[in-house]
Amino acid sequence: MRKQDLKERLKRAGDRVKSLASSTSLSVAAGVDRLLDQRVCLGITGLSGSGKTTLITSLIHQLRYYPDAALTALPPALQGRLLGVEISPLNDLPLFPYQEGATSLDRQVWPRATRQASGCLLEIKYRARSHIIPGKKPGISRLYLEIHDYPGEWLLDLPLLEMSYHDWCQQSRKLAAAMPEDPFLVQLKSLNVLEPLDEWRLNSLWQQQLDFLKRCQQQGLTMIQPGRLLHLASDSPESHFPFIPLPQRVELSEADQSAAPVDALYRICETNYQHYLKRWVRPFYKNTFQRIDRQLVLIDVLKSLNQGQEAMDNLRLSLTQVLQNFEYGSNNIIRRLIQPRIDRIVFAASKIDQVLPDQHEQVRSLTASLVRESQRQATFKEVDIRCEAIASVRSTTYVDHQGQRVLKGNTEEGPGLLLHPPLPEQYPDNDYWQNSRPWHLRRLLPPVGLQLNIGSRLPHIRLDSVLNDLLGDKFQ
């Protein structure tokens, strides 16, 4: 071996040792913070279109520029005990694009949606209310907030870990029932699942499946599995192992299965389905989901309500699946180190600035009703669930118009007034759907004149209440 080659190998080995030592040191430090209850791992997710990226951008901005933010529901901010907030990357995740999101809002454009996992670490310095030693003056404490951002569609894939390929084909019938005439589904019915299928044909059906799932989403459906497929590029690694739902698989007898060749279509799909779970779903559960202490789930309740009964029922089914995946329990001193459990979850109806202030409580109550409906169908223990209705960025004001109060804001169709009918406080019954009036739910634009990159105030509605729900008990 040449001397130069040996030097290069030794250098690379030294770099790996340094990296491992650094990683180990950071892990030990994080473990100590967790043991002292000074580190919180917060998962933030939301189904597509709920405004997750905007919420995280706003949350970080409110905390970083707390002196000018409206955080009256967060006690340490109200009491003047916040002292500083620093943002840094997490070791094992791409940095959440906060700066990019703030710049977009300054340009009156919503931040680009994040399609992969990302995160950041916020070091929050604050003055403690009391000292652990009686008589001692309270000092400066730190809370380390890990923010883990991941698509809500990934969360909907977790139930697949408990499903065989046969079970998934059975469940896919529910999604198919909402789109019975879709050309993709029509093609599936004509397939002979006991015979081989050309590779190019299976790949073609796989690509059509990706388009089909997007059409389901456009129809307002949220209970879409596999959810990860909603954001795949055509050349993604997942596309190397294509699988499709086969309704005929559910009807196969044991004799049919025994007689089928090893390269039968259903066998290939079954193998690739298991590979999908092993390669992508299980690692997400292990590396991200199991680390989370507290969880925020955003729901676009208004969009589902506006799209009708089918969309609302589908949202309830999605929430049922979400609840079944959370393992709740008290994070005692031992569990905080070994295997944290989610001990609190907040469901927040987003974009509340689309309705009048006197209807905010109705939306909050409706969200709680929606969660309770899902809760009845899910099984878990020691649950601490909270519900809110928020706007991460407030984009409307209200004015009097022809004797009634209406919203005013900038939309993609231009500036104007926004009207909406009365909203239900409980999960809608058949009478509501028969008598409700549809309304035009327009997409708002961020407010004009923001200067977030120099720390100006970002208007919101009750984001401080959500922060208090998630973190308030940690500022002692």
Give me the mean pLDDT over the 355-383 stretch: 81
Across the chain, mean pLDDT equals 85
**Does residue 226 have a cis bond before it (omega within 30 degrees)?**
yes
For residue 213, give the H/E element and its range.
helix 199-218
Work out the pLDDT band at 111, boundaries 50, 70, 90.
Answer: very high
User: How far is Cα 308 from Cα 110, in angstroms, rounded to an integer?
Assistant: 26
pLDDT of residue 419: 85
Would you say residue 317 has pLDDT above 90? no
Query: Is residue 149 a contact partner of residue 279, using CB atoms and an 8 Å limit?
Result: no
Model pLDDT for residues 400-415, shown as the tens digit of each residue: 888 888 899 999 888 8
Pick the more confident residue, 147 or 420: 147
Model pLDDT for residues 456-475, shown as the tens digit of each residue: 999 999 999 999 999 999 98
Among 132-136, 211-215, 340-344, the range scoring the smallest mean pLDDT is: 132-136
Q: How many CB atoms lie within 10 A of CB 109?
A: 12
Would you say residue 118 has pLDDT above 90? yes
Would you say residue 319 has pLDDT above 90? no
User: How far is Cα 228 from Cα 157, in angstroms, rounded to an integer?
Assistant: 7
pLDDT of residue 21: 42
pLDDT of residue 28: 46
CA 262 to chain centre: 39
Question: Which residues in 110-220 belong to E strands, given as ranges?
Answer: 118-127, 140-149
pLDDT of residue 250: 84
Work out the pLDDT band at 381, boundaries 50, 70, 90.
Answer: low
Would you say residue 176 has pLDDT above 90? no
pLDDT of residue 199: 93
pLDDT of residue 98: 96
For residue 269, give the H/E element and its range.
helix 265-276
Helix then strand then coil, in percent of the chain rounded to 5, is 50, 15, 35
Would you say residue 388 has pLDDT above 80? yes
Model pLDDT for residues 427-456, shown as the tens digit of each residue: 999 999 988 877 888 889 999 999 998 999
Q: 54: closest CA among 427, 395, 412? A: 395
Distances (CA, A) of 385 to 48, 170, 382: 22, 31, 10
Would you say residue 308 has pLDDT above 50? yes
pLDDT of residue 269: 95
Model pLDDT for residues 183-214, shown as the tens digit of each residue: 999 999 889 999 999 999 999 999 999 999 99
Phi first, then psi, for residue 349 (nearest 5°) are -75, 125
User: How far is Cα 273 from Cα 245, in angstroms, rounded to an integer?
Assistant: 10
Q: Helix, strand or coil for residue 60? A: helix
User: How far is Cα 188 from Cα 247, in angstroms, rounded to an integer?
Assistant: 8
Would you say residue 4 has pLDDT above 80? no
* Percent of the chain residues topping a pLDDT of 90: 52
Cα Rg of the chain, angstroms: 25
Work out the pLDDT band at 363, boundaries 50, 70, 90.
Answer: very high
Give me the mean pLDDT over the 241-254 stretch: 89
User: How far is Cα 195 from Cα 189, in angstroms, rounded to an integer?
Assistant: 14
Structure tokens at 240: 């190397």
pLDDT of residue 139: 84
Would you say residue 389 has pLDDT above 60? yes
Q: Strand order of the sheet with strand 404-411?
A: 396-401, 404-411, 414-418
Work out the pLDDT band at 322, boundaries 50, 70, 90.
Answer: confident
β pairing state of 414-418 and 344-349: unpaired
Would you say residue 149 has pLDDT above 90? yes
| pTM (predicted TM-score) | 0.85
Q: Strand order of the sheet with strand 82-88?
A: 82-88, 118-127, 140-149, 39-46, 294-299, 344-349, 385-389
Domain residue ranges of the chain, discontinuous segments joined by +:
1-35, 38-150+292-474, 163-286
Work out the pLDDT band at 49, boundaries 50, 70, 90.
Answer: confident
pLDDT of residue 6: 52
pLDDT of residue 71: 95
Structure tokens at 62: 């409110």
User: How far is Cα 228 from Cα 171, in angstroms, rounded to an integer?
Assistant: 17
Among 106-110, 236-240, 271-275, 340-344, the range scoring the smallest mean pLDDT is: 340-344
pLDDT of residue 332: 47
Structure tokens at 257: 């299965």
Which of 21-25, 119-123, 192-196 reaches the highest mean pLDDT? 119-123
